[in-house]
Amino acid sequence: MNSANMTLMPTTGWQITLIVVELIAFFCFSYLLVKKIRSKNPYTHFEGKLYWASVLILLFNFILYFYGI
């Protein structure tokens, strides 16, 4: 394939939205995971729900990217 013919696929609005949501979920997941490792205190109810929501969002986005949707 000629490299001159290779172009980036244009991103649509929903793809940009998924990327933004995934970045927010990744930062929430990272922050809460570090807090869980460093602290002996358990999560508050909200932090626990936020942790599992971020895990589910990351898993959902991984599945979307894996299947190329």
Extract the runs of DSSP E, i.e. beta strands, from the chain.
none
Cα separation, 69 vs 15, in Å, equals 9
23-44, pLDDT tens digit by residue?
888 888 888 888 888 887 777 8
Contact 27, 1 (CB under 8 A): no
pLDDT of residue 64: 78
| Domain boundaries defined on the chain | 32-69
2-20, pLDDT tens digit by residue?
555 555 566 677 778 878 8
Left (φ > 0), alpha (ψ -120 to 50) or beta: where does 8 sit?
A: beta
Backbone angles phi, psi at 46, to 5 degrees: -65, -45
The pTM of this model reads: 0.64
Cα separation, 34 vs 18, in Å, equals 24
